[in-house]
Structure 1
Amino acid sequence: MTSAYDEDLSLAIELADLADAASLARFRAVDLEVHTKPDRTPVTEADLTVERAIRDRLAQSRPDDGILGEEFGTAGDSTRQWIIDPIDGTSNFLRGVPVWGTLIALAVDGIPVVGVASSPAMGRRWWAAAGGGAWTDDASGEPRRISVSQVADLADASLSFQSLAQWRGAGYLDRLLQLSERVWRDRAYGDLWSYMLLAEGLIDITAEFDVKPYDLAALIPIVEEAGGRFTSVDGEPGPWHGSSLATNGRLHDAVLAALDGER
């Protein structure tokens, strides 16, 4: 399928290639440099290297577009903004756990329309552009279109909740526990992996708190083009509200009601 954003998607995939090469070169390196940011989260030299590489390439290819990145903030003022998380899952990266990746999005007027999630240590990549479907590459290396599940009852649903600490800190732990009693299965897969499992139809619900736009923007087109629905926990669209709820669409209203305290 074609999309009005095919050229932007091609560039995003090129950026993901650059990112994968830079990040994999330092994955499990014994001399990896790690620092603590003011918010007490870790940042590695690989985070910085990846974001610099992406920004340099965008400066050449899209000099008039804006950029929002986790490590170097906002640059430019445009209705078109590239949103970058150089390594989503930095804690996994620095511990040698392969569940991490680079997230690259293009938002137009604040709405994410292109998303690439690339996880080189797992050998996987997912991508989407508005109107063009959601895709991944499987073991054969051939693109494969993906779609969410058709589960329509919470009792049959698989839920990923990211971490108990997030839910406790947001004051929602009791509602999570109540929701977990209503679903078939609950796990904490974490980071981009939960959303990609959802987009492939392998789980049905994922939600988290204490998230920034660069944690979510690339995931939104992939989930939505796969047929899912993506909002905040309060039902607001977009990556700007500090929380996320992604579902296969059929379950979304029921989960929103459960998290609002309704039974």
Structure 2
Amino acid sequence: MYDAQREACLAAAQAGGKVLLGYFRKLDPATITEKTKNDMVSEADRAAETAIHAELDFRFPQYGFMGEEGGASGDTERRWIVDPLDGTLNFVQGFPHWCVSVALWDAEGPVVGCVLDPLREDCFLAVRGMGATWNGQPMHVSQQEGLDGAFLATGFAFQLGERWPTFNAALGRVFPRAKGIRRAGSAALDLAHVACGIFDGYFELGLKPWDLAAGALLVQEAGGVITDWNGGQGWFQSGNLVVGTRGVAQDLLETLEG
């Protein structure tokens, strides 16, 4: 089931990744602009999204499309949700931590999802109800039982604005209990790394649909838990995520709430 969609998702991510590899550490500074303060976009983002969109439109012209750079078009019930370059600031600075995120969503949620890390040749792929893989091998979240001693990922962007005090207070409560907390700058990769067991959990505020559309399915199909910061299922709408093994996610929720 969904074999054709899975192949399309993978092919599109690979097409975007190929484009990005051609630009990495070779960007013309004149092609880098700010969408809003400290929120970068480059020629690489746009070129990758064009390649991804073309691949998906060729295979499934009946599906809609939502991309970070080009916006939404077509069918809203079945549509691809794409971040052609998650970690743009990293990419622009030459920091080697960024990825491509491609997912198909329908009225029930995510159907297929791929997070591709071209530099490390890491491919994370999931299909609803059929599990998740890392470079073709089944993957699962870690066996960490709780927050104490957990290895966590998080994110905080300049765009947090007035939400920063809320996040900062929550971070202060989590910090003493975790083994380590990393902020690497790519939400999609953070989710993929929870799904494969590198991280035990993850929390962030204010993500956009394209940041989490593929990674959320990876986590779900790898046996992980996703909620919003209230413990509900409004995470896609709010962009506020608590993610991890069952025990880590539960402990995170309680700790974030104070």
TM-score by length of 2: 0.91
Matched, 1:230 2:223: no
Matched, 1:155 2:148: yes
Task: Tell me which of 202, 223, 236 is aligned to 1:239.
Answer: 236
Stretch moving more, 153-162 or 42-51: 153-162
Distance apart, 1:195 and its partner CA: 1.9
Trace 1:111-126 onto structure 2 (pairs within 5 A): 111-126=109-124
Distance apart, 1:259 and its partner CA: 1.1
Distance apart, 1:134 and its partner CA: 1.0
Stretch moving more, 79-88 or 151-160: 151-160
Kindly provide the amino acid, as one letter, of the partner of residue 137 in structure 2: R
Matched, 1:91 2:89: yes
Matched, 1:252 2:245: no
Equivalent residue pairs, number: 253
Distance apart, 1:40 and its partner CA: 4.4
Stretch moving more, 48-57 or 161-170: 161-170
SS in 2 for 1:105: strand
Counterpart of 1:189 in structure 2 is 184
2:153–2:201 contact (8 Å) kept in structure 1: yes
Percent identical across equivalent pairs?
Answer: 32
2: distance between equivalents of 1:110 and 1:73? Answer: 21
Matched, 1:68 2:66: yes
Kindly provide the amino acid, as one letter, of the partner of residue 232 in structure 2: E
1:154–1:182 contact (8 Å) kept in structure 2: yes
Query: What does the per-residue CA deviation read over 1:170-201, in whole Å, with 9 as the maximum and x for residues that have no partner?
Result: 52311211111122322223313322221111
* Distance of aligned partners of 1:258 and 1:30 in 2 relative to their CA distance in 1, 3 Å threshold: closer
Kindly provide the amino acid, as one letter, of the partner of residue 230 in structure 2: D
1: distance between equivalents of 2:38 and 2:207? Answer: 15
Distance apart, 1:30 and its partner CA: 4.7
2: distance between equivalents of 1:30 and 1:220? Answer: 30
1:150–1:250 contact (8 Å) kept in structure 2: no
1: distance between equivalents of 2:227 and 2:165? Answer: 17
Runs of 4+ aligned residues of structure 1 deviating over 6 Å after TM superposition are none
Instruction: Name stretches of at least 5 consecutive residues in structure 2 with no aligned partner.
Output: none
2:11–2:55 contact (8 Å) kept in structure 1: no
Task: Tell me which of 13, 28, 49 is aligned to 2:10.
Answer: 13
Counterpart of 1:140 in structure 2 is none
2: distance between equivalents of 1:94 and 1:197? Answer: 22
Stretch moving more, 65-74 or 250-259: 250-259
Distance apart, 1:31 and its partner CA: 2.4
2: distance between equivalents of 1:164 and 1:214? Answer: 15
Instruction: Name stretches of at least 5 consecutive residues in structure 1 with no aligned partner.
Output: 138-142
The CA RMSD over aligned residues, in Å, is: 1.9
